[in-house]
């Protein structure tokens, strides 16, 4: 029975991840999530209390995964940006969920301490590398992190109007533009 409950909860998270990535929080329909997970609305409210609660559970699980999957490498920031890019390519729903979170959820709940702590730790490691002369000091550490992470998301943020102009780009082309741009930022 405990195994059943775990399995149901997991199916709900997976169905909710697809639904929220496609439609956002306001646009998501709890009954569609329940049907896709072969569950029902009562179970959703039992496990997650509300649609917002379900979104938060999905978001926290996916962000935690994303942070674990791509550790910061201060010796190779272009490679780090490339691996972030790879993550967005492999899991396009993560970038969409992060954007919905920023647009729909961020104003109504406190910033997540686990993400703040993770960012702070990354900033400290970049500062350390700057003190050791391994990284440019042209930018503050926090700004360099912001730039690298933002550049990694270059192709997740393009409009359909722009996408038509780069239809000939392979994934490798798009990746190289990201890593080259980060390398250019770091050139003394």
What's the closest the beta carbon of residue 118 comes to a second copy, in angstroms? 8
170 binds a second copy (CB under 8 A): no
Which residue is associated with the tokens 């496609």?
Answer: 22
x/- contact string, 7-26, with a second copy (CB under 8 A)? ----------------xxxx
Cβ proximity of 152 and 84 under 8 Å: yes
Cβ proximity of 156 and 95 under 8 Å: yes
Q: Which residues of 102-140 are buried (b: 16+ CB within 10 A; e: fewer)?
A: eebbeeeeeebeeeeebbeebbebbbebbeeeebeeebe
What's the closest the beta carbon of residue 35 comes to a second copy, in angstroms? 19
What's the closest the beta carbon of residue 98 comes to a second copy, in angstroms? 7
181 binds a second copy (CB under 8 A): yes
Rank residues 25 and 57 by Cβ distance to a second copy and give the closer one: 25
What's the closest the beta carbon of residue 117 comes to a second copy, in angstroms? 9
> Interface residues for a second copy in 130-169 (CB under 8 A)?
138-139, 142-143, 146-147, 150-151, 153-154, 157-166
What's the closest the beta carbon of residue 99 comes to a second copy, in angstroms? 6
> Interface residues for a second copy in 97-116 (CB under 8 A)?
98-104, 106-107, 111-112, 115-116
Rank residues 5 and 184 by Cβ distance to a second copy and give the closer one: 184
52 binds a second copy (CB under 8 A): no
- Contact residues: a second copy, CB under 8 A: 23-27, 96, 98-104, 106-107, 111-112, 115-116, 119-120, 123, 138-139, 142-143, 146-147, 150-151, 153-154, 157-166, 177, 180-181, 184-185, 187
């Amino acid at each position: 029975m405990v195994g059943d409950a775990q399995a149901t909860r997991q199916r709900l998270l997976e169905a909710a991840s697809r639904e929220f990535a496609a439609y956002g929080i306001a646009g998501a329909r709890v009954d569609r999530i329940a049907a896709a997970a072969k569950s029902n609305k009562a179970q959703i409210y039992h496990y997650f209390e509300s649609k917002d609660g379900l979104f938060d559970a999905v978001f926290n699980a996916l962000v935690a995964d994303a942070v674990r999957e791509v550790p910061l490498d201060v010796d190779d920031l272009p490679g780090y940006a490339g691996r972030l890019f790879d993550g967005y390519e492999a899991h396009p729903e993560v970038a969409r969920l992060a954007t919905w979170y920023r647009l729909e959820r961020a104003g109504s709940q406190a910033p997540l301490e686990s993400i703040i702590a993770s960012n702070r730790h990354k900033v400290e490691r970049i500062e350390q590398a700057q003190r050791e002369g391994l990284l440019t000091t042209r930018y503050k550490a926090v700004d360099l992190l912001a730039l690298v992470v933002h550049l990694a998301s270059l192709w997740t943020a393009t409009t359909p109007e722009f996408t038509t102009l780069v239809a000939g780009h392979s994934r490798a082309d798009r990746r190289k533009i990201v890593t080259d741009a980060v390398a250019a930022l770091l050139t003394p």
